Amino acid sequence: MTLTILFAAGDGDFAEYAPHLNAALSEAQLEAEIVTEALPASVDFIIYAPANPLRDFSPFTRCKAVLSLWAGVERIVGNPTLTQPLARMVDPALTKGMVEYVTGHVLRYHLGIDTHIHARPGDWVHAPPPLASARVVGFLGLGALGQACAEALSYLGFQVIGWSRSPKTLPRVICHHGDAGLQTVLEQSDILVTLLPRTPETENLLDAHRFAWCRPGLCLINPGRGALIEDAALIEALDAGAVQHATLDVFRTEPLPKDHPFWHHPKVTVTPHIAAATRAETAAQVIVENIIRVQRGEPLLHAVCRARGY
Ligand code: NAP
């Protein structure tokens, strides 16, 4: 029987994804048709991104799984009409992109690159930076992305520590969990990278109280979600010098409004949600692998837990 796969993402996405999805489906010898419109009761799988207007999943009575093109699922996980299993995106190319973004921005802080970019003629201060082994990089979030970035930085020689909801043991990373673990990571990190999902528990995690725990002069990199940080508390911490500089890729409102203080703050670098994108070629493989698994009665890869919200 031919499977009907509804592609419900952004307007321009179908043209980019369809050839890769079709190639992966035919390689897997799965008979399937990918469509952008279908009778809901005829749909077997939905490939989804919130850029699509689809919000009511209840008519999709035959649908066996909703496969997100996005790693972050906060805009869909609480949808009460979504009773089908949901998988988030873990795309090896997206992960590589995040490793490159985080490594680049950590090295910017570690090497003090801005000092040299902004140097005036005659600014000859011979002060070589310390080696990476003298610097602690902390990760809030040790999931698919946090772990890959932590591993890359540990290979560069940084001391890497991290924090997650559940206890973990990872090579070359000192792992913490719980409230005490969060305080330890904030107290010890010279550079902090936030790669947590947005959930009710992580919203406003970095507030004035938590900024007070941070090592003075902390540099912050947030490619996770804007809502992890209380904007006003960060600006206060930057103004007070408690946080030296912040590189922010994600915001409560995107695009970041032109008049938002982050655009104008001298200690903030704004990047426009470009840290890591899902890449059609590799994501198509992940999606088709999940379709195969469901067809075989095997559990979904990267299944979202609704109770946890990620
Ligand atoms: P993931 O694999 O689900 O990992 C999430 C990590 O956060 C896990 O280590 C989890 O702990 C931890 N966590 C969740 N809730 C927590 C809590 N209340 N307290 C402590 N730790 C908690 O997610 P991922 O694939 O690494 O992605 C992380 C986030 O990156 C996404 O949700 C998305 O928001 C963001 N993202 C941004 C971009 C971009 O371009 N800027 C691109 C992709 C993704 P456990 O390990 O114990 O479960």
Mean pLDDT over 234-242 rounds to 98
Atom 33, ligand 1: residue with shortest CA distance: 72
Question: How many other CB atoms sit within 10 Å of the CB of residue 225?
Answer: 22
| Centroid of ligand 1 to alpha carbon of 36 (angstroms) | 30
Mean pLDDT in residue range 254-275 = 98
Q: Give the tens place of pLDDT for each residue, 19-66.
A: 999 999 999 999 999 999 999 999 999 999 999 999 999 999 999 999
pLDDT band at 6 (very low <50, low <70, confident <90, very high): very high
Biggest distance spanned by C-alpha atoms of the chain: 74
| CA 19 to ligand 1 centroid distance, Å | 30
Summary mean pLDDT of the chain: 98
Task: List, in sequence order, every beta strand (DSSP E) within 54-124.
Answer: 65-68, 86-87
Which of 74, 91, 145, 249 has most ligand 1 atoms within 8 Å of CB, for mutation? 145
Q: Which fold has domain 3-90+278-295?
A: Rossmann fold (3.40.50)
pLDDT at residue 176, rounded to an integer: 98
**For 92-270, which CATH class?**
alpha beta
pLDDT tens per residue, range 25-34? 999 999 999 9
The pLDDT value given to residue 8: 98
3-state secondary structure of 123: coil
CA nearest ligand 1 atom 43, residue: 71
pLDDT of residue 49: 98
- How far apart are the CA of 100 and the centre of ligand 1, in A? 17
Mean pLDDT confidence for 129-141:
98
On the question of a common fold for 3-90+278-295 and 92-270, the answer reads yes
Where along the chain do its domains lie? Answer: 3-90+278-295, 92-270
Spatial contact of 305 and 114, defined as CB atoms under 8 Å apart: no
Tens-place pLDDT, residues 65-91: 999 999 999 999 999 999 999 999 999
What is the arithmetic mean of pLDDT over 237-264?
98
Question: What distance in Å separates the CA atoms of residue 159 and residue 283, rounded to the nearest whole number?
Answer: 32
pLDDT at 42: 98
Taking the C-alpha atoms of residue 22 and residue 27, their distance in angstroms, rounded to an integer, is 8
The whole-angstrom separation of Cα 289 and Cα 305 is 19
Contact predicate 245/268, CB 8 Å = yes
pLDDT value at residue 34 = 98
Over residues 134-152, mean pLDDT: 98
Quick one: pLDDT at residue 191?
99
Mean pLDDT of all residues in 186-195: 98
**Pocket of ligand 1 contains residue 249 by CB under 6 Å:** yes
pLDDT of residue 309: 97
Backbone φ and ψ for 43, nearest 5 degrees, come out as -90, 130
Measured in angstroms, how far is the CA atom of residue 186 from the centroid of ligand 1? 17
> Which of 105, 160, 164, 168 to probe ligand 1 with, by most ligand atoms within 8 A of CB?
164
Tell me what pLDDT residue 304 has. 98
pLDDT value, residue 149: 99
